């Protein structure tokens, strides 16, 4: 009779890199932040801080576009399923804004590199998210440009403020991760 352990995969065949594990956890953090943010009262129901974008931006800096898109798409889909808005107007607006802002932030990082700090990239990402959502609201729901123009200053102003805040937090996270990585490398190099 064969042992059960012979049928189980070994640790070597199940090797998963630390990077893969980190990327797998990042959407969970984004969904968690987005869910917590949904509990915070706002003056306008659809006006949010965009805290989950901290995770997206951090992911773009650490792992690139593919991982950033995984975080964005996973967050949008899971959060819409949890909120009961899947394929509804909120889902369409969130998906459009999320995809556009992730692509713009990545594009700025690639084209301008170190010339743009995480704060600058975050501001452009937030404004792209807002403009995309306003455009989608006009195309799909409102169809009155006057209404869009009236609400635009509030939304873009909020986007600017949250973009700055999220960029500062992202910058702090990236610095902390780099410090830990450098400390780990120093510790490993000092071993006999």
Q: Which residues contact 33 (CB under 8 A, 6 or more apart)?
A: 51, 52, 54, 55
Phi-psi region of 116 (alpha: psi -120 to 50; beta: other; left: phi over 0): beta
Whether 50 is covered by a domain: the verdict is yes
- The pLDDT assigned to 2 comes to 54
- The pLDDT assigned to 167 comes to 97
**What pTM was computed for the model?**
0.82
pLDDT digits (tens, 9 = 90+) for 18-48: 888 888 888 888 888 888 888 888 776 667 7
Whether 188 is covered by a domain: the verdict is no
Average pLDDT over residues 111-133: 94
pLDDT digits (tens, 9 = 90+) for 45-96: 667 788 899 999 999 999 999 999 999 999 999 988 988 888 888 889 999 9
**Token pair for 70:** 């995984």
Range of the domain at 34: 20-176
From residue 71, how far is each of 9, 51, 156, 158 by CA, in Å? 29, 13, 24, 23
Whether 162 is covered by a domain: the verdict is yes
Whether 5 is covered by a domain: the verdict is no
Domain count, the chain: 1
The CATH number given to whatever domain includes residue 138 is: 1.10.1760.20
- The pLDDT assigned to 136 comes to 92
Whether 8 is covered by a domain: the verdict is no
Whether 181 is covered by a domain: the verdict is no
Whether 39 is covered by a domain: the verdict is yes
pLDDT digits (tens, 9 = 90+) for 133-172: 999 989 988 888 988 888 889 899 999 999 999 999 999 9
Whether 185 is covered by a domain: the verdict is no
């Amino acid at each position: 009779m064969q042992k059960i352990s012979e049928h189980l995969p070994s640790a070597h065949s199940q090797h998963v890199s630390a990077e893969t594990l980190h990327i797998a956890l990042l959407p969970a953090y984004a969904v968690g932040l987005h869910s917590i943010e949904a509990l915070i009262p706002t003056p306008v129901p659809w006006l949010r801080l965009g805290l989950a974008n901290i995770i997206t931006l951090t992911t773009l800096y650490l792992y690139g576009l593919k991982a950033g898109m995984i975080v964005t798409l996973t967050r949008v889909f899971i959060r819409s399923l949890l909120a009961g808005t899947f394929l509804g107007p909120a889902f369409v607006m969130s998906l459009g804004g999320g995809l556009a802002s992730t692509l713009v932030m990545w594009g700025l990082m690639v084209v301008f590199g170190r010339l743009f700090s995480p704060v600058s990239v975050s501001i452009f990402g937030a404004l792209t998210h807002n403009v995309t959502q306003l455009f989608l609201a006009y195309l799909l729901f409102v169809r009155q440009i006057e209404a869009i123009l009236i609400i635009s200053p509030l939304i873009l102003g909020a986007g600017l403020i949250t973009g700055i805040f999220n960029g500062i937090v992202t910058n702090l996270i990236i610095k902390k991760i780099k410090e830990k990585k450098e400390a780990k490398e120093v510790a490993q190099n000092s071993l006999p």
